Amino acid sequence: MTDALLIGIGNRLRGDDGVGALLVEEWRQEVTGREGAGSEAAFAVVHQLTPELALAVAEAGRVLFVDAWVTPDPSEPWIESLRPRRDGSAGEAGGHGWGPLAVVALAEQLYGWRGEAALLRVPAYAFPHGTALSAGLRRCLPRARDHLRGWLRGGGSEGV
């Protein structure tokens, strides 16, 4: 079992949409370069969430989904705790069909997983073809990196 799983969501070829993938890839490269690193977290980078990710979630003690959060207004990144409803349903309808809460609910239903799950939402403003990030998103990146590090240190999803 892995202590933590980071799942970066997004398409790196659609501007700000790729911020989840970018942040998780950055962290993977940072820890891979450290001696003795690698056991603290597992990584996944996906364009969109699928039911198959429930197994990876079930094999981790904690999971952090990192994704773009479409917002027209300047905002700050933030982490929210993910808890499926008591009736076993995810209570969400993601734009791509599967959202983080649905994957967590499936991990609980199929594998009895009872770990901690959270979503790091990073404000995103522009989604053109290409890898360029908007100025608004670039301003948010340092704070998003701080949230990710804080969560990995065990800061949880509240008050990070």
Measured CA to CA, the distance from residue 3 to residue 29 in angstroms comes to 18
Q: What residue ranges do the domains of the chain occupy? A: 2-155
Q: Record the tokens describing residue 19, joined without a space.
A: 């911020």
State residue 17's pLDDT score.
94
**pLDDT tens-digit series, residues 50-74:** 999 999 999 999 999 999 998 877 7
State residue 22's pLDDT score.
95
Each residue's pLDDT, cut to its tens digit, for the chain (160 residues) gives 689 999 999 998 999 999 999 999 998 888 776 655 445 689 999 999 999 999 999 999 999 999 999 887 778 898 999 987 555 454 454 445 689 999 999 999 999 999 999 999 999 998 999 999 999 999 999 999 999 999 988 866 544 4
Q: In what order do the strands lie in the sheet with 60-70?
A: 41-46, 2-9, 60-70, 116-124, 78-81
Strands 78-81 and 2-9: unpaired
Q: Record the tokens describing residue 25, joined without a space.
A: 């890839």
Domain 2-155 has CATH 3.40.50.1450: yes
Give the pTM: 0.86
Q: Which residues contact 116 (CB under 8 A, 6 or more apart)?
A: 61, 62, 63, 81, 156, 157
Measured CA to CA, the distance from residue 120 to residue 156 in angstroms comes to 11
State residue 160's pLDDT score.
44
